[in-house]
Structure 1
């Protein structure tokens, strides 16, 4: 029987949370870019990639030059103090393992780049407020990448516009349609209407106009 995994995808608000990354190379850079827009992101290393230095210059991350190979367990504990997630991303397997053990002792979440840690960071697709995470729990990065490519071909920028329109329509309908079931039905009529989707290719206003026309017709026909 396959071992049960207890991973559950969640959307977390990382505002004010501290993300600690060890390693200033390409892996640390990729992790820092992911977190820099939504959390307090700190990177510890002796050397840093050009991109990480650019991120620091723009105030998106904080870089600290530390000889991690010479750091003791107690020094590492001080470095990770207050961290929400620790990411050991150095080029040394042994050093990554040491950092992992210290973080685990402190009951801090860990994203490991060379093993399955307590946090798995998925491949992320963003279309405005639509966020999709893809992960194979480390079993097949190739399948994860392939899946991302497939989904990116389907999820066009119009999805972001549709989210905006649906939010606008929900607010509008709450003022004029008391029954929640009816509001839901009307929103789905807009969502499944090809003319509305096609309208986004012209402009947001064109799609909006078609959506309100659909709702108006439905309300008139139902006597609302």
Structure 2
């Protein structure tokens, strides 16, 4: 079973098999997040040559990529030939690597979701290969729902109060109790939902004061 995780990409080394449009998108995705990216392909699209990734021009039908696979944390398979894709997937898998298989979503180990930031929250959606376009378009619906709700204001107020609590409440147990008290306080939530930001902040600070002297 696949589980959702956020991974610090700057700690990753990513090997991409394939220099076409799909390989380029994957390389750009990981590189933009700070990963070290190496692309292996006989030829590459022009976009790949300008995004600052390592490119090795090799014939994947003849080249032995074992050393490159050992170097990588994540391996991306993005080649057109299904037989070659199968060989590359099996080799990377047998060497204990996590594989993002752009050619066969049913066997991929790593899913690359559609994602965006909405009101300070990062939202990611995937159909795990079943229906990509509905998954992508669902982000528009999710964004609209969040933007038209009280969540963005709640995010900003809660973020501010959490920062203040980290400075004021040194004891972890009390600090966690404060966070719980905030979300359970009806007056605080009513002020947030009414858009009364300053009053909500004042209410949150009042709750904090009570936690501090408890």
Task: Tell whether the structures are fold-level matches, with TM greater than 0.5.
Answer: yes
CA contact (8 A) 2:118 2:143 kept: no
| 1:89 Cα deviation from its structure 2 partner | 0.6
Which residue, 68, 72, 75 being the options, matches 1:86? 75
Distance 1:79 1:213 in 2: 56
Q: Is the 8 A contact 2:119 2:146 kept in 1?
A: no
| Residues 140-187 of structure 1: per-residue CA shift (max 9 Å, x gap) | 213312322212323449477457425424324525994643442236
Structure 1 unaligned spans of 5+ = 1-5, 200-206
2:27 matches 1:32: yes
Residue 134 of structure 1 contacts residue 144 of structure 1 at CA under 8 Å; is this kept in 2?
yes
Farther off after superposition, 209-218 or 153-162: 153-162
What is residue 15 of structure 1 aligned with on the other side? Answer: 10
Of 28, 39, 44 in structure 1, the residue corresponding to residue 40 of structure 2 is 44
**TM-score with structure 2 length normalisation?**
0.76
Tell me how far apart the structure 1 counterparts of residues 162 and 41 of structure 2 sit (CA, whole Å): 44
Alignment-derived partner of residue 140 in structure 2: 149
Contact 1:22 1:88 in 2 (8 A): yes
Unaligned runs of 5+ in 2: none
* Contact residue 174 and residue 183 of structure 1 kept, 8 A: no
- Separation in 2 of the partners of 1:163 and 1:108? 39
Q: Which residue of structure 1 aligns with residue 54 of structure 2?
A: 62
Matched residues in 2 for 1:67 and 1:133: separation? 35
User: Partners of 1:105 and 1:221 in 2: how far apart?
Assistant: 57
Query: CA 1:216 to 1:47, structure 2 compared with 1: closer, same or farther past 3 Å?
Result: same
Hey, what does 1:119 align to over in structure 2? Answer: 110
Kept in 1, the 8 Å contact 2:114–2:126? The answer is yes
Distance 1:63 1:170, change over 3 A: farther
How many residues align structurally?
202
Task: Tell me the C-alpha RMSD between the 2 structures.
Answer: 3.3
